[in-house]
Amino acid sequence: MMHSPQAEPDARIRNAMRQLLTGPIPDGLKCDVKSLCTLAGVPRATLYRTYPHLKAEFDRQRQAAQAAGQQPDPRLAQIERLKAEVATLRERLSRKNTELDALKEFQATALSRLAAQHDEITLRRQLDATPAASVRTLPR
């Protein structure tokens, strides 16, 4: 049985489409026409001239996957996950900064009260140590 000369590039393009759309995507490539041609070993001009139906199918499947919320390129999905993680971490950092400010305020208040109590205790001790005879009553 003879294979047509077009069958081999057609199959390579379809295999490359499947790999780019379902992963894993090889390093240095992404889910686009240029990477499709590179992975299939077919010049871009050949894809546009000889296999426009496969290019159109690839574009449709890629757009459908993106519209469905699926990212055919795992690196794009990773970027989205990292952006969400950064947003979460920024929110968490903001809450921690607010908590830290409240704790600093509490610390300042507590130190002020402790200093006042220390002064009062010191003064009471001085008064207790002073003999009653040296205390004069002031005239009214």
Condensed to tens digits (0 to 9), the pLDDT of residues 4-60 reads 556 799 999 999 999 988 878 888 888 899 999 999 999 999 999 999 999 999 999
Residues 63 and 85 in one domain: no
Which residue bears the tokens 């499709």? 36
Number of domains forming the structure of the chain:
2
96 within domain boundaries: yes
The Cβ of residue 73 has, within 10 Å, a number of other Cβ atoms equal to 20
94 within domain boundaries: yes
- Which of 41, 57, 72 marks a domain boundary? 72
**Residue 139 DSSP label:** P
138 within domain boundaries: no
Amino acid at 23: G
Condensed to tens digits (0 to 9), the pLDDT of residues 35-47 reads 999 999 999 999 9
113 within domain boundaries: yes
Q: Rounded to an integer, what distance in angstroms lies between the CA atom of residue 102 and that of residue 104? A: 5
102 within domain boundaries: yes
- What the block records as the tokens of 66 is 């993106």
Q: Rounded to an integer, what distance in angstroms lies between the CA atom of residue 63 and that of residue 38? A: 20
Cα angle 29-64-70, degrees, rounded to a multiple of 5:
65
